[in-house]
Amino acid sequence: MLIESVSAQRLQVAIQPVVEAKPKAAEPSPEKKEAEKPDHKFLQHVLEVVQEHFNIRGIGLEFAVHEPTGRIKVTVFDKETGEMIREVPPQQVLDLMAKIDEMMGILFDHWA
């Protein structure tokens, strides 16, 4: 199967209507900005649009959280064969980051 390269511009065209539909809020104070949590519903909606865009091309996306680091991992796979095409970031890199964090915890009592 031929995997078509998706440019940032084409992805922007797919997501732009969703971004524009989000209501604009008044500018909160800097203290409120730090206290606010990300808009999970909006993010989930954007991810659904991105997945739909790739589903049309026969490409599957799977989003997961790497528990030890708390980072998001995306797995790209061919929907016809089920073959994994790419992991971003790779599992080995995430495991290495977790191990480095663990070693930092052994060397230092706390983070600055």
Mean pLDDT of the chain: 75
pLDDT digits (tens, 9 = 90+) for 25-80: 556 666 665 556 667 788 888 888 888 888 788 888 888 889 988 898 989 988 88
Reduced to 3 states (helix: H, G, I; strand: E, B; else coil), residue 49 is helix
CB 72 within 8 A of CB 63: yes
pTM over cut 0.85: no
Q: Give the residue from 61, 65, 40, 63 showing the smallest Cα distance to 51.
A: 61
CB atoms closer than 10 angstroms to residue 59: 19
| Residue count of the chain | 112
Question: What's the number of CA atoms in the CB half-sphere (13 Å) around residue 8?
Answer: 0
Asked if the bond preceding 90 is cis, omega within 30° of 0, the reply is no
